[in-house]
């Protein structure tokens, strides 16, 4: 059953997800991949300590940003690339599937299958540099 959460008029709240965290092995390799390969913008790269940086990237159209967090414990390192147990982690929409798909191919991005048409749009699963699965989707109008 699909339902609604709280009614914002009842309690005066407006909510949105503005940032998600993705574990990475190395800040610079992650910035290179997400910005050069996926075409994201580097929003922030602030040194917090000798070993910690606050690194945020986002698609150039804005919306939710990603915090790239360097794994520092063995438990965190074990989760790099497998934060969802093998399920798709992130979903990215584009208005030109074929151009974005070709761009990813030109950077030797690994795909988990071929593009396919679904009732919601054109989609293909690809892997980021750590093996996290992404859905690239051009939604139907």
pLDDT by residue, tens only, the chain of 141 residues: 666 766 656 666 778 899 999 999 999 999 999 999 999 999 999 999 998 999 999 998 778 999 999 999 999 999 999 999 999 999 999 999 999 999 999 999 999 999 999 999 999 999 999 999 999 999 998
Residue 51 lies inside a defined structural domain of this protein:
yes
Sign of the alpha-carbon dihedral angle for 63, 21, 107, 37: positive
Task: Say whether pTM exceeds 0.75.
Answer: yes
Structural domain range at position 54: 17-72
Q: Give 140: exposed, middle or buried? Use CB within 10 Å, 0-12, 13-18, 19+.
A: exposed
**Is residue 54 within a helix (H) or strand (E), and if so which, with residue range?**
strand 53-58
Residue 46 lies inside a defined structural domain of this protein:
yes
Separation between Cα atoms, residue 137 and residue 58, nearest integer Å: 16
The closest of 94, 78, 88, 95 to 111, measured between CA atoms, is 88
Identify whether residues 33 and 66 lie together within a single domain. yes
DSSP 108: T
Total domains present in the chain: 2
């Amino acid at each position: 059953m699909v339902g609604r959460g709280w009614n914002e008029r009842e309690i005066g709240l407006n909510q949105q997800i503005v940032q998600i965290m993705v574990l990475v092995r190395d800040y610079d390799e992650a910035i290179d991949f997400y910005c050069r390969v996926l075409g994201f913008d580097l929003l922030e790269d602030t040194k917090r300590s000798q070993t910690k940086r606050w690194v945020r990237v986002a698609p150039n159209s804005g919306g939710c940003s990603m915090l790239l967090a360097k794994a520092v414990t063995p438990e965190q390192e074990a989760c790099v690339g497998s934060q969802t147990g093998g399920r798709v982690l992130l979903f990215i929409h584009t208005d030109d599937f074929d151009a974005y798909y070709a761009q990813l191919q030109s950077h030797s991005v690994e795909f988990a299958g071929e593009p396919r048409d679904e009732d919601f749009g054109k989609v293909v699963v690809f892997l980021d540099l750590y093996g996290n699965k992404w859905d690239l989707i051009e939604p139907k109008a």
